[in-house]
Amino acid sequence: MKTKLTLAALCILASSVQAETLLLQEPSIAQNKIAFVYAGDIYVSNKQGQQVTRITSHAANEYAPHLSPDGQWIAFTADYEGNNDVYIVPATGGQPKRLTWHPGTDEVRGWSPDGKSVLFTSRRDIAHNRTGQLFSVAIQGGFPTKVMEAVVSDGKMNADGSKLAYNPERLAHGGKNGWRNHRGGTTPPVWIYDLNKNSYVEVPHGNFSDSSPMWVGEDIYFISDRSKHKNIYSFKQGQVEQVTHFNQWDVANANAFGSDIVFEKGGAIFLLDTLTGNSKQLNIDIKVDLPQRRTQFKDAMPSLSSSQISATGKQVLLSARGEVFSVPVKDGSTYNLTNTSGQNERDALWSPLGEQIAYITDKGGDYRLVLADQFGEVQKTLDLGKHTADFYLFSWMPDGKHIVFGDSNMALWLIELKSGKKTKVMKNIAMTSYDVVSSPDSKWLAYTRNNTNYLRDLYLYNIKDKSHHKITDGMSDNAEPVFSPDGQYLYFASSTNKGLTAFGLDLSSQERPQRYGLYAAVLQQDGQSPLMPKLADEAYRSVNGSQDKDEEEADDSLPSIDIKGLSKRIVALPVPQRNYWGLTATDDNNLYFIEGVQIGSSIELDGKPLRSSQLKRFNFEERKVDKVAEKIESVTVSADGKQLLLVGEGNALSTATVAEKVEVTPLNTADVKARINPTQEWAQIFDEAWRNERDYFYDPKMHGLDWQGVYDKYQPLFKHVGRREDLNNLMREMISEMQVGHNYIIGGDVHREETMKVGLLGADFEVKNGLYRIKNIYTGEAWNPHLKAPLAVPGNKVSVGDYILEVDGQPLDASINLYSLFVGKVDKQVRLTVSPNGKAKKAHTLVVEPIKSEFDLRHWHWIEDNRNYVTKATGGKVGYVYLPNTTTAGYTSFNRMFFAQVDRKGVILDERSNGGGQAANYIIDVLNRQYLSGWKYRSGDMVYDTPAGAIYGPKVMLIDQDAGSGGDFLPYAFKRLELGTLVGKTTWGGLIGISANRDFIDGGRVTVPNFRFFTPDHEWRVENEGVAPDIEVELDPVAVNKGQDPQLDRAIKEVQQQLKSFKPVRHDTPPAFPTELGR
């Protein structure tokens, strides 16, 4: 097991940074200065790494510093108001000046050679590519100018500004994604674009990634992983040479000035002299206060992971932010029962009588079970297992003797609390959740288990003799078992149509209603249905005997379960078949449950599926369903069956007493706060990220990687973490050693600025005659009710070519950044003064309501432009369908666009920049439809087809390096089934999926790659490989700058060529009518 941080190390963390500070990032050099980032702030030193000065100290994220050529200014990106914009600040310190206001992300890439403008990339004008465009903004301010239409990820201009060395694609390893040595499609080259001649050349390239291009005189230097470790290379006189030869840590974020290059490696900054080829580490010592390291109280509710109401319903036990809290329902105070910052205590349970609690702890590095009294005093600690796994608690059995728990290997366990003895109950064959519940007498477990038909059966497990009994027949999906308090019934939900959605990875599971019925299994042979006919009182007595026994004569023992014939004693409850979960049986012998809407049944105004749920109750006496509460997502009951705990949207907790009329009372969680020592918590998160990869990665042997060795390599850097964001960066670098996709570090308790939203008008602008002129107005196209186009509203009396002279009465000209006048204006009424010729004399005023994002407006404009372009180019013979991803949006887009064009002879499917999501079998099935028949009615000339929704002619699919995950699977399947031709660039190459592991205690997470695709040929493919096109076409920047799309043009050419030889299989007319009877 790995070495844990010692108390001494933690004490050092709490004081000052060590003599040599590491985790220094993004160095830039000019003159005798180096600017860099540490802990989210910008610093400047001299070229030797001495005389360090802190330039910025804001809590917001400041990054991408670039010194101006004269060394007087630093341009950088910061999210001071919750938005990433471009700022400049004197290199000696001072007040930053904001240069951009657009609500999209603007990232600084450098300076113009004369130092008068800052270069930055932004996706503000583009909505169909994951890479942005390059812009220039003057240091005096004003409106940014686009350098060119072609996309740019990173780049630098040469000394006279005539050439741009740049990456036309983003890296696979970057941002939240850890993926060293990527060899799929996202392997950017370095292009050198001549801005005067409109031509470009490529630095010799192969299946590797080149990045950080920079000029040293007339030569190009860049970072490349072509030697398996990122090093610096040069491109001189047409030849590429390796300059550095590091083999332990990768080189990152290089910048040049004169003959010097600065770069990161292993958290340190290095200086390379290109004249000699020698590099040296700069020993930079930073001693500053780091506010994020200070101990502080945090609201733990956003990180709530579990909740349970006590036996009598007087307290609620919460697991949140790695602590266990006891919260009173009515009287008393909230208590933190663990107070262990830096440990993850979770899955807390009440004992059946409420005198004890149990929870899992990771104290010491392994997961263990803790038993404590109700005040948190630890009484006993038990091992959960020596095998490598994550663990989670299900329930404390009613007799108090056992706890039911599971592990990440899908095994179900019982642990005897007195002896610590563990019994393995079963192991689920599927990597999906299963349900388990204890019988009231603690003699049985009811659980669900997957079959190879993807459906779940319901089982009973006899704890005494360890026997298993299957009580359903495999012909339905069974879930949510719960025993009635009197031990007479086992209630559960069952679906006979779940098969269509049983494997949620398939896109064919979209918009398929899951209909569950509710059932009761009668557990005794002589038991009666809970729905026996109601009889008159005398008749009831004659059949069932006297019901007038005194209470002291009543038999309190619970009836035994009779297995024989149990599967024949299942009764359907009279409820509609809908989407149910959370079955809960209460003391009054009623059954509570959650009813959710069928996903896809309706769409909200924002374009998102309606998601809502209600708490309902089946009243056995009245035999009807009552609605109890709205917007409830889960329900549990106290051990005595009398109190309910409800979890609503956003972890809103409430309680209710079981009664004929249920009154819901919010639970006061205002005092659920944890005292956080950040360095201790960060150490725990770092370790848990490492354990999560160990416990959940699809290959237990981790492709042969020495995972302990990786921990030992990166853990020493932990002491230099100055803020939560730095921890994310460190963990991302650690997991990148696995060299797989879908391996992300996301979120956590990072600093978040309050966003001052900037409004947009849904238009393009240009500066003409010193004023802002409307260049284009986006309309939202047709049939998009969730889109709002501010300037396209009928009656606004504004047109392309008009000038905007004033915003809310404030004069506007080119010296002012247009968007600076729209800060805080989203969805607010704004008065615009516009003029057709820029003159006040013809100006008029209109009122608009700016929007927060133009992405969807621009996206649909691009899609419709492409569709119309294809229609015109092919004379209406070929359809065009865009697929943004392979989940809800892609499913919706396909259905919307494909079936509206089934009268076309062929089709182009465009999945460039496809974001993935699910395996698009549904789309493949539709594309693979074969013509079966025609149908002719008496009236009307139209001939109907079966299948009607099909295009039987040539099919071409556009792919690129930004299409991945489900965007890899779609072209793979398209190619495998020989449905058509792939045109474009090799896809990303990421088909190890994510699904399983838990979040970190502060809400962040690592997305461990948990399952992997293989082919019918029994081969691991596509991962770190991608899907190659049949016809490779580069997105040529020269053509793009002319307004062309060479990939789409090549697809059109290909489908037209194939149409020439295509023989139609469907008939537009019926055969001649029969002339003989009986034919």
d(CA 906, CA 881): 11
Cα distance between residue 1056 and residue 1062, in whole Å: 10
Q: What angle is formed at CA 423 by the lines to CA 420 and CA 427, rounded to 5 degrees?
A: 140
Rounded distance between C-alpha atoms, residue 598 and residue 612, angstroms:
9
CB 1035 within 8 A of CB 1047: yes
Give 931's contacts (C-beta < 8 A, 6+ positions apart): 945, 950, 952, 1065, 1066
The Cα–Cα gap between 920 and 510 comes to 10
Cα 699 vs. chain centroid, distance in angstroms?
22
| Catalytic residue positions, numbered | 742, 965, 1023
Cis status, amide bond into 811, omega within 30 of 0: no
Asked if 626 and 620 touch (Cβ cutoff 8 Å), the reply is no
Task: Kindly give the pairing relationship between strand 830-835 and strand 803-807.
Answer: antiparallel
Contact between 970 and 924 under an 8 Å Cβ cutoff? The reply is yes
Torsion 378-384-387-390 (CA) sign: negative
Amino acid letter for position 373: D
**Phi, psi torsion values for 51, nearest 5 degrees:** 55, 55
Q: 3-class SS at 746?
A: strand
Q: What is the DSSP string of 441-480?
A: TSSEEEEEEE-TTS-EEEEEEETTTTEEEE-S-SSSEEEE
Residue type, 693: E
Euclidean distance between CA atoms 954 and 782, whole angstroms:
28
Nearest to 374 by CA among 331, 316, 440, 322: 316
CB 260 within 8 A of CB 71: no
> Residues 747, 1005: contact at Cβ < 8 Å?
yes
| Terminal C-alpha separation, the chain | 81
What is the dihedral sign for C-alpha 543, 545, 548, 554? Answer: negative
User: β-strand 1031-1032 against 981-984: which pairing, if any?
Assistant: parallel
Are 968 and 987 within 8 A, CB to CB?
yes
| Pairwise CA distance, residues 637 & 398, whole Å | 13
Spell 898-913 as b/e; 16+ CB within 10 A means b: beebbebbbbbbbbbb
DSSP string of 230-283, one letter each residue: -EEEEEETTEEEE-----SS-EEEEEEETTEEEEEETTEEEEEETTTTEEEEE-
**Helix count (H) and strand count (E) of the chain?**
11, 71
H-assigned helices in 570-661: none
Phi, psi (deg, nearest 5) at residue 871: -60, -45
Phi, psi dihedrals of residue 864, rounded to the nearest 5°: -70, -35
* Cα–Cα distance for residue pair 233/245, rounded to 1 Å: 10
Altogether, the residues listed in the chain come to a count of: 1079
Return all residues near 984 (Cβ < 8 A) that are at least 6 apart: 912, 958, 959, 960, 1029, 1031, 1032, 1033, 1047
